[in-house]
């Protein structure tokens, strides 16, 4: 039986890149998105094509749900359980940038609440529910044996977890929180055999970075990242596949920087 992954925010950008990479390795998918149904449909279709090209037949189901809403998270898990019965991998990818990049001394509480609800509270309580599901299905008789016995959870954080950008403090705080969330769930779930990992993307070419493309083009050209190019959703997809396929069985709570070397300090 094929392993199944639940990916949040899989319609576009990094989530789409992760979905395509897993599909090519024969993973069935539950693809969550918020609003952009046509993008989600295109991703599902492309996942099937990637899988077929690699000789796999997979399932790719779409589930619309706003990760910041308690009701939607509940519905997402119920629907995923109906569709797949089991979850071998949860990728907490869905996230937003502030609508307006506002200075720390001006930024609004509305933006703060929205960022924290989507980027921090959403994945926290979704992971709580999915971890319970993973534990339930590993002990219930009658559920087919997992091809890979260790379920895994991945959080997509950001270089903003440790980089102070004073024009989007709410985003930085949410991502610093995701880093601690990784440690917390890793510590709690190790005894259940569930590995938990954090991927910290650098500057990745997606719709999220579209509005600041020229600024980042310049910074990258000037050497902001030792590897002088934009990251791609494929770069993140490769990292998730390595984790998903069990390349790190004696690691948990580990942080993977996929950032062109941005995190290096140099003299």
Annotated catalytic sites, by residue? 171
Q: Strand, helix or coil at 119?
A: helix
| Half-sphere exposure for 114 (CA within 13 Å, toward CB) | 11
Stretch that binds ligand NAP, among 21-29, 132-140, 205-213, 242-250 (CB under 6 A): 205-213
Stretch that binds ligand NAP, among 10-18, 55-63, 104-112, 219-227 (CB under 6 A): 10-18
Site string for ligand NAP, 165-204 (x = CB under 6 A): ------------------------------------x-xx
Binding-site size, ligand NAP (CB under 6 A): 31
Asked if 256 and 199 count as a contact pair (C-beta separation under 8 A), the reply is yes
- Cα–Cα distances (Å) from 136 to 94, 140, 143, in that order, read 25, 6, 10
Q: Strand, helix or coil at 264?
A: coil
**Phi and psi based region of residue 257 (left: phi greater than 0; alpha: psi -120 to 50; beta: remaining):** beta
Site string for ligand NAP, 98-137 (x = CB under 6 A): --------------------x-------------------
Under rule CB under 6 A, residue 39 binds ligand NAP: yes
User: For residues 68 and 157, what is the distance between their CA atoms, to the nearest angstrom?
Assistant: 16
Site string for ligand NAP, 228-247 (x = CB under 6 A): --------------------
């Amino acid at each position: 039986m094929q392993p199944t992954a639940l990916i949040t925010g899989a319609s576009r950008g990094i989530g789409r890149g992760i979905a395509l990479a897993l599909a090519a390795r024969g993973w069935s998918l539950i693809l969550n998105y918020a609003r952009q149904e046509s993008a989600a449909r295109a991703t599902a279709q492309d996942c099937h094509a990637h899988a077929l090209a690699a000789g796999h037949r997979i399932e790719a189901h779409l589930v619309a749900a706003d990760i910041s809403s308690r009701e939607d998270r509940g519905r997402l898990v119920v629907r995923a359980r109906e569709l797949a019965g089991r979850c071998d991998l949860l990728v907490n990818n869905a996230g937003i940038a502030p609508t307006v990049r506002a200075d720390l001394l001006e930024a609004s509480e509305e933006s703060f609440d929205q960022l924290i609800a989507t980027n921090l509270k959403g994945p926290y309580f979704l992971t709580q529910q999915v971890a319970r599901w993973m534990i339930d299905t590993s002990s219930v008789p009658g559920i087919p044996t997992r091809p890979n016995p260790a379920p895994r959870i991945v959080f997509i954080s950001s270089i903003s977890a440790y980089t102070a950008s004073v024009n989007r403090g709410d985003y930085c705080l949410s991502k610093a929180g995701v880093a601690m969330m990784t440690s917390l769930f890793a510590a709690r779930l190790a005894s259940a055999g569930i590995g938990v990992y954090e991927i910290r993307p650098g500057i990745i070419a997606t719709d999220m970075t579209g509005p600041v493309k020229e600024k980042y083009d310049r910074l990258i050209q000037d050497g902001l990242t030792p590897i002088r190019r934009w990251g791609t959703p494929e770069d993140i997809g490769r990292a998730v596949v390595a984790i998903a396929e069990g390349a790190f069985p004696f690691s948990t709570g580990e942080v993977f920087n996929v950032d062109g070397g941005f995190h290096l300090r140099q003299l």
